Amino acid sequence: MAKFDVVVIGAGAAGMMCAATAAQRGRRVVLIDHASKLAEKIRISGGGRCNFTNINAAPANYLSENPHFCKSALSRYTAADFIALVKKHRIGYHEKHRGQLFCDDSAEQIIDMLKDECSRGDVHWRMPCKVAALQQAPAGLGGFVLQTDQGEIEADSVVIATGGLSIPKIGATDFGYRIAEQFGLRMVAPRPALVPLTFDAQSWAPFVEMAGIALEVDVETGSVKGRNPTGARFREDLLFTHRGLSGPAILQISSYWTPGTPIVINLLPELDLAAALIEAKGTVRKQLGNVLAQWLPARLAEGLLHAHGFAGDARLADMPDAQLRKLGAAINQWTLTPSGSEGYKKAEVTRGGIDTRELSQQSMMATKVPGLYFIGETVDVTGWLGGYNFQWAWASAVAAGISV
């Protein structure tokens, strides 16, 4: 039987970072992954350039049943710490948008960097390797025994870094959740997040033609009475698709969206449309569709008028103010209820996971099961779009890596 101080299961972002940190402290570490290709999610991230952190990352950028949980790890390993590592490896990077840092060349550089950090600590690898069972060692011996398709492994500590359920075709599994269940740890129900939203075919029919249109909007969650119960609001680009809505604005709000409730979109966030139309009434002798097309893409203006029961060729001057106010509200507060999302096959992350009440915020160890750790996306901490999820992966990994 092979013996190690630490077994890390899952060689993705968090797993490699944790293995490297623990191994560089002198711990004997083995890193296991069932995939044959290393860190596919890093490779495809950020459109192939890996948005590896966000310089503004702070606890407010994360969703969790316990919003305080992430504070400790994030404050002890910051975006600046990761940037220092990237610089040490001479990887060129740039800021793209609102603090989002991307590699100049390729996400492969981040994978190579993490591999190199693992080598510096002499991490052992088992990959591809399947873990069939994980048990606590018999009473009195301490530690854990793993059955794998490459033999039995014994270790003092086990770190679960197998991620969430998003993108099953590149190797996502529910392994972490099954281990939590086996050891009696509570879970926050997982669901797809940072995901495009869909609408039923009938209600979406007027908008199908608009697929491909993109524009900057404000988006927020709305309850049936039009309140914003989560307080979440984003100004980002929205993209119309054949089945619904996507783009950064929708991905962001999807993480806060509760099925069955509406979202509210302001398609003209810089303009009070009703006021502008009423003012234009006296001076502009144009048709409504043409007036609206000053501010919105013409195809979208036409589709929106049709969907809300307005005739595009109506003369603005003939329209009662009450009608213009109704149109203004329809566009400044477009309220619509998604029927669902594109699900795990398109979701960038999984919301929910191991309930943080089961874990130490300093070390990420399960308080009921000494020696068992959960890091990265397995845990109920989910970041916004924009490098926040990788920053959580690095920070939670380091918290565990200095503790195991």
Binding site for ligand FAD (CB under 6 A): 9-15, 32-35, 39, 41, 44-46, 50-51, 131, 161-163, 166-167, 171-173, 175, 348-349, 376-377, 387-390, 393
CB 33 within 8 A of CB 10: yes
Q: Which is nearer to ligand FAD, 165 or 327 (CB)?
A: 165
Q: Which is nearer to ligand FAD, 10 or 222 (CB)?
A: 10
DSSP H stretches of helix in 222-272:
248-254
CB 44 within 8 A of CB 37: no
Q: Which is nearer to ligand FAD, 12 or 244 (CB)?
A: 12
Residue type, 125: W
Q: Which is nearer to ligand FAD, 166 or 266 (CB)?
A: 166
- Output the CA torsion 94→95→101→106 (10° steps): -30
Among all residues, whose Cβ is closest to ligand FAD?
12
Q: Which is nearer to ligand FAD, 82 or 207 (CB)?
A: 82
**Nearest distance in Å: CB 198, ligand FAD:** 18
C-beta atoms surrounding 101 within 10 Å:
24
Cis, bond preceding 128 (omega within 30 deg of 0): yes
Number of helical (H) and strand (E) elements in the chain, helices listed first = 13, 21
Residues 6+ apart with CB under 8 A from 323: 310
Angle at 32 between CA 28 and CA 37, to 5 degrees: 130
Residues 6+ apart with CB under 8 A from 279: none
**Nearest distance in Å: CB 265, ligand FAD:** 24
CB 97 within 8 A of CB 54: no
Taking the C-alpha atoms of residue 18 and residue 396, their distance in angstroms, rounded to an integer, is 8
Residues 6+ apart with CB under 8 A from 141: none
Q: Which is nearer to ligand FAD, 14 or 305 (CB)?
A: 14
**Nearest distance in Å: CB 343, ligand FAD:** 12
Taking the C-alpha atoms of residue 348 and residue 334, their distance in angstroms, rounded to an integer, is 26
**Nearest distance in Å: CB 123, ligand FAD:** 14
**Nearest distance in Å: CB 70, ligand FAD:** 13
Residue type, 298: A
**Nearest distance in Å: CB 389, ligand FAD:** 3
**Nearest distance in Å: CB 104, ligand FAD:** 14
Q: Which is nearer to ligand FAD, 4 or 204 (CB)?
A: 4
For the chain, state the CA radius of gyration. Answer: 25
**Nearest distance in Å: CB 323, ligand FAD:** 44
Taking the C-alpha atoms of residue 46 and residue 226, their distance in angstroms, rounded to an integer, is 34
Q: Which is nearer to ligand FAD, 77 or 388 (CB)?
A: 388
